[in-house]
Amino acid sequence: MIVIIDYGMGNLRSVQKGIEKAGGEAVISSDPREMESSSGIILPGVGAFGRCMENLRKYDLVDTVKGIARSGKPFLGICLGLQLLFDESEEFGPVEGLGVLPGKVARFPESDTFKVPHMGWNGIKKRADTKLLEGINDSEWFYFVHSYYVVPEREEDIATVTDYGVEFVSSVHRGNLFASQFHPEKSAEKGLLILKNFIDLVGENE
């Protein structure tokens, strides 16, 4: 079973509906025991980085999420669920993150041409072959809503990049961990393909 982490924030139901539409099943839970016994984990997120970290601590989920993300179990982070995996964010900060992946979260530079937040559809460029991007070609378009982006320390963690005034990292991977700045559950056919690839990866590891 796939568990979507409920820590009081995030687009939980839309992610659950996306998984169901892609042919899988998922439950929404804040129970660490359910997460640890699951076959796959999704960490969504909407809102401010610091508030999300506060809620993870409030729900006593920090160690659980870090452990699962490092365990090799299929793990999908979405939007802020990507950013939380890194060491720190400069949003109202610096604010300490989960530290699963080395790097930081930075704000888009001010620009007269590119509005912040970055909101809407944009293309990706693949930097790595990874299970969740099977069937996804360069320049496929996905849906974004964010003002901050991740800056990984390790080049090998980068799965895709996207141009928005600057070239930023739009998804990362490491082992069975994959996390995207874009929203697969809001990205039509290609987004559902990523969710199906995640479902398949979970099935392979059951």
Active-site amino acid positions: 79, 183, 185
**CB atoms near residue 157 (< 10 Å):** 22
Tokens 């506060």 belong to: 54
Alpha-carbon gap, residue 143 to 69, rounded angstroms: 24
Helix H segments across 38-155?
49-58, 62-69, 80-83
Which DSSP state fits 132? G
DSSP string, 28-51: EE--HHHHHH-SEEEE---S-HHH
**CB atoms near residue 43 (< 10 Å):** 30
148 neighbors 106 (Cβ within 8 angstroms):
yes
Q: For residue 123, what are the contacts with CB-CB under 8 A and spacing of at least 6? A: 138, 139, 140, 141, 142, 162, 163
147 neighbors 204 (Cβ within 8 angstroms):
no
